[in-house]
Structure 1
């Protein structure tokens, strides 16, 4: 008869212990995440300070480089965009049809050995190199905003 009363008490006690451990585990996990986010924020603040010291002149409000009416140096353009660079792991992506059609007509004439993916890779490489400091600053700012929103959310 005593077993009938003990069993529900054991089940209930087990459930309470499970909840306590679950909540403690969740609390520790959130504490660790907050600590990790704080470390990331500190790192980003240091990176932003470094970027502001290194490059003061690149303002986010500036327009990107505008195309000029002057023809660019053909040799520089050819070395930058029309050369054959290979290597690395490749991934598939999509290009709007009008751009693809234009490139498929133009490239065989001006650079017979350069494929469309090679040209786009060269173009992307130059863009990322030219605007790397801007990308870094945008990344730092957006990450700080995200961390700030997260801290407000968990508070």
Structure 2
């Protein structure tokens, strides 16, 4: 409509989308239904929070389902105003840290040493300093350093 007004009208050769036939509200709604998409950046379908409508809690645990965490853009309570890539990377990093802390805590409860039973990738995911900060266990540092070195 704006392009049909002077002085722009003299510069417009043809309207391709939505097209000259789209004039009523019903036509606009049909055009929107056919052409709009999400660009594959879905978020906020399993939002995190502490209200009754939230799907996951602050430790990314799905409410009412034991042993399941959600670690992706779906936990965002609201869509970000920018691209979702950086927040998704942050959610993944924080989720990995939460999973490690929970595993360490559970292992301590069971009296198990995680490093004896850890997969080889454990050292690649967690560096020496972050494991010490997460667990408060500086005695784990040499073992994780050996695991990390062995993966190179």
Tell me the TM-score normalised to structure 1 length: 0.25
Q: Which has the higher contact order (CA 8 A, sep 6+)?
A: 1
Greater share of helix: 1
Tell me the TM-score normalised to structure 2 length: 0.25
